[in-house]
Amino acid sequence: MNMSRHSATPRESPVAPPLGKWRITLMLGLILVAAALLMGRVVLLQVVDRPFLQSQGDARTLRHEDIPAHRGMITDRNGEPLAISTPVITLWANPQEIPEDAIQRMMLAQALGISLEDFDARLARYSEHEFMYLRRQMTPDDAQRVLNLRTPGVYPQHEYKRYYPAGEVAAQLLGVTNVDDLGQEGLELAYQPYLAGHVGQRRIIKDRRGRLVRELGVVEEAQPGGELTLSIDQRLQYMAYRELRLAVAEHEADGGMLVMMDARTGEVLAMANLPSYNPNNRAGLDPRGLRNQAIVDVFEPGSVVKPLAMAAILESDVFDRDVVVDTSPGWMRIDRFTIHDIRDYGELDLAGILEKSSNIGMSRLALELSDTTIWDKYNQLGLGQSPGTGFPGEATGSLPAPVRWSRSERAALSYGYGLSVSALQLASAYTAIANGGERLPPSLLRLSQAPAGIPAIEPAIANDLLQVMETSVGASSGGRRARVDGYRVGGKTGTVRKNNSQGYAENAYRSVFVGIAPISDPRIVTVVMIDNPKAGEFYGGAVAAPVFSSVTGNALRLLDVPPDQQTR
């Protein structure tokens, strides 16, 4: 038996692939899928969503920050600063970042100059906000002392603050700015766009706490405001304010105003008002002090318009130059009213009527003229019209149209009642007498050259009125206290009863004086008004004329005008 036929070679079974190979394949597949997803996500973020994501990132770190513009300086005619902007720092805080630590809060409150209770109360009030002011417009040194505490959540903001070197002396003319450096009153308001300049911008990166990390560059440069040069002479302004304040105090008056104008150009050299205020510290100010009374307030001028009315009388050709008017017995009845002079002056020529300030003489002359003669002259001289300075709220005054006027109204117009004017309008009207018959519009800005005058009075008559006004301050006249040693001056006094809701007050007056100096070659026109003097004297010649004398004498010397004795 062949045993070999029955023996079998062992059959080989199929070999299964190792388990590790499947795992490798699976892992590779998963990695490839993950890589594909990751690459897709990268593409999505970097290409599709890139603008959105970048804007969101920039919003959290990149900032466009304003660059404050330096407000333009205001100077007097000689370049002396009247209003300047100084750098200050405003501190603000994110209430949500202020630490809860009581000691840190107490130190911060003390550095800010407030009580801890008030500070905590403010934090509680703004607890749901991310911004609150801590203190506005601090000096850099004071602000740095607070910042040196390194209190989390406290940040600086650089700004500018307006400072007025002249203080109360020129407050109403200049006006003020608010805490955001925007003009609120006076010339600061009138020239706000010009003075403010244009805010710039820069790109910066800040961290999550708002701290500056890096400056990326300036997007737009800040444009500083323009410089404003006024017609005011600071030396004359100080002197005028000082003399006005002394007079108001001496006569226990409610206030006063003074306007000094260049008789050759119409530039306002000084403009003072009382009451006033300190624009650098407005705590507890009297609201009356905010008003630039010389421009925005009006009053009945009284006798100071008699020279202007006399110009109309002389130009009318109704009267000869040598006409004599009988003013006896010192009073006259017109309609239902009685007009008085201080006493019976008897017969007066035209110069005498002005020198004695006779209401009777002016009334009798005016009643012989047409209804519109004096009104037309006042209109030519700018009364009842806007002065055109651009000052906010400047008054036009009142010059009623001559429609169905009574005789008493025509007479009253000739001696200064029935109309209202501002001190600035009066000064401008008087430049026609001082400037050869041409009226000069007032200017609060320095002029490069004298403007063309507005013909208002015949030159020969303007010269005659100058000479008559000089006699009105003669040694025996009511305006004698306006005289100035060494100079020929002229002017006109006025004493006006104040009116109220019931009519004219019994014992309340305005004392007025308008003068020109020197008569030989007029350089300045000055208007002085003292409101309601209560110390006894109230006539314009006793109260306002001495102010004119002091101010004019000092002004002529400061302006280097040679005394008349040296010019003869």
Catalytic residues: 303
Please state, in angstroms and rounded to a whole number, the distance separating the CA atoms of residues 14 and 379: 129
**Which class for 23: exposed (0-12), middle (13-18), buried (19 or more C-beta within 10 A)?**
exposed
Q: Which long-range contacts (CB under 8 A, 24 or more apart) does 7-12 make?
A: none
Provide the H-helix boundaries in 384-535. 407-414, 423-434, 459-471
Tell me which amino acid residue 239 is. M
CA 525, 527, 528: angle at the middle one, nearest 5? 145
Continuous segment of H or E residues that includes residue 206:
strand 200-206
Q: What are phi and psi of 246, to 5 degrees?
A: -65, -40
C-alpha distances out from residue 456 to 387, 447, 453, Å: 15, 22, 9
Q: What angle do the packed helices 407-414 and 306-315 form, to 10 degrees?
A: 110
The answer to whether residues 413 and 419 touch, using CB atoms and an 8 Å cutoff, is yes
How many CB atoms sit inside 10 A of residue 113's CB? 10
Please state, in angstroms and rounded to a whole number, the distance separating the CA atoms of residues 248 and 246: 6
Please state, in angstroms and rounded to a whole number, the distance separating the CA atoms of residues 146 and 1: 119
Residue 270 β-bridge partners:
260
The answer to whether residues 313 and 458 touch, using CB atoms and an 8 Å cutoff, is no
The answer to whether residues 387 and 424 touch, using CB atoms and an 8 Å cutoff, is yes
The answer to whether residues 68 and 158 touch, using CB atoms and an 8 Å cutoff, is yes
- How is residue 150 annotated by DSSP? -
Please state, in angstroms and rounded to a whole number, the distance separating the CA atoms of residues 254 and 533: 7
Please state, in angstroms and rounded to a whole number, the distance separating the CA atoms of residues 327 and 347: 6
Secondary structure of 222-243 in HEC code, one letter for each residue:
CECCCCEEECCCHHHHHHHHHH
Which residue is associated with the tokens 């209804």?
Answer: 371
- How is residue 520 annotated by DSSP? T
Provide the H-helix boundaries in 290-441. 293-296, 306-315, 350-356, 359-366, 373-380, 407-414, 423-434
